[in-house]
Chains A and B, each alone.
Chain A
């Protein structure tokens, strides 16, 4: 779950950074570069999770199904 929370988090943070830029009339150069750096880190991390990974398929073992009824 951690991974997915991160992805959701990362996307949220990215949006916030973009919004920050949108809200600034004149961007403070130092702060702006700091934000871009942070954004690049987030983009990199998100891309890592968004790599194509083979899906796993497994049929569950239902041997104990009788006990589920109880």
Chain B
């Protein structure tokens, strides 16, 4: 690879980017510069063979690039304008002319005339309103459709582009990149018409809308790196490990529609796994929000497989891009809040569940405690009854004892009485009183006939016995 050529190309890329107010890679990606440095193309045809360079890029940068590569090839090709005696070939001169014309990029306002729709491009005229001045214009159908402005003869439009001479025909035409409407009135009318049209197609219907998933955290962010929206959004997003993939896009004016459409396409193609796309910008007039009211963007959003959250400010009319989005809020800050919501709610829900569970748990413990207390009380009762029981037994024993001893006393007394009675009735006691007891052969003699004469009887007196004979 020719390193010095690559350096020259890089310098050119940076200069061109600055002049066109574009990022460098938008002019030509670095990989394309490398390919140019490798192949050193010497003609437009050779340049077209390089991947990444198509008609559009060729028309815009072809001359620039070829000047550098040819310059690199040999000193004799240098075009030096100071050399007044230099004689150009027609093609060479037109190349030089076109290179200079490309610098005359501008917005031009006028009335549309003589529209000529061809296959994938359109010719039309733009006439000055006050005199009859006319410029021929050219637009690719893609760009025409992206613009979303239907050309009608006599309507006032604003074109953004640059002049160019078509080499085979030799005519100058204005290479139109985008067509805008002129004036708030026309913008408002176009807005209303497009809104009605899309509405009748059901594009804004609630049932078309998908929910922005809870706990979305892989986010594709589409906005400009300039402007307050990006800061408002990122600084209001809670820190729960969001992965923000940022696509830098213009958001101001009609031209922004190219970037916005591309951004939605790009994310759907390259990062379909994203949870949501977020499209934000601050508020503005209908004119500055034109891109967001452009049919091509609205349809691109409607076709997005990734749900889209819009936080697009507006003064009066809600932008159609917001209306077609799956969810819309009114500011970039509100978009950040919307995404933070489910996370904040989760914190609250977890806390609440914890409180609930704790109270259920303490309820269970309370029941335990109650059961324990009840058991305690039962035990106490048993203890008490055991205590009382012992008393009773003691009492009973005492009672038994006392009644028993009373019984004994009684018995003793009765025995004593009986003894006395026995004593009193003792026959020997009678003897002492002077009675005597006569017995014969051990039998008591009660009657006279109990004895016969001559028989011996025993006479018992108080102090002994007398052997006596019956006479």
Contact = CB atoms under 8 A, between A and B. Distances in A.
Given A55-B237, A56-B244, A66-B52, A43 B350 contact: yes
Interface residues of B, number: 47
Nearest to B243: A56
Contacts of A15: 349, 353
Given A4-B217, A27-B360, A60 B266 contact: yes
A22 to B, nearest CB: 9
B25 A43 contact: no
Interface in A13-70: 14-15, 17-18, 21, 27, 29, 32-33, 35-36, 39-40, 42-43, 46-47, 50, 52-60, 62-66, 68-69
A52 B54 contact: no
B349 A7 contact: no
Interface in B248-268: 248, 262, 265-266
Given A11-B346, A29-B367, A68-B262, A60 B247 contact: yes
B430 interface: no
A17 B356 CA distance: 10
B46 interface: no
From A32, A63, A66, name the one whose CB has the most chain B CB atoms within 10 angstroms.
A66
B364 interface: yes
A34 to B, nearest CB: 11
B270 interface: yes
B376 interface: no
User: Helix, strand, loop or mixed for chain A's interface?
Assistant: helix
Interface residues of A, number: 39
Contact of A50 (B266, B347, B356): B347
Interface string B219-250: 01000010000000010011111111111100
Contacts of A57: 234, 244, 246
A53 B360 contact: no
B241 A54 contact: yes
Given A40-B357, A60-B247, A60-B270, 19 more contacts: A7-B215, A8-B214, A11-B349, A29-B364, A43-B350, A50-B240, A50-B343, A50-B350, A52-B239, A52-B240, A53-B241, A55-B237, A56-B242, A56-B243, A57-B234, A59-B225, A60-B220, A63-B30, A65-B266
12 contacts: A4-B214, A14-B350, A17-B353, A21-B357, A36-B357, A42-B353, A43-B350, A46-B350, A55-B240, A56-B244, A62-B262, A66-B29
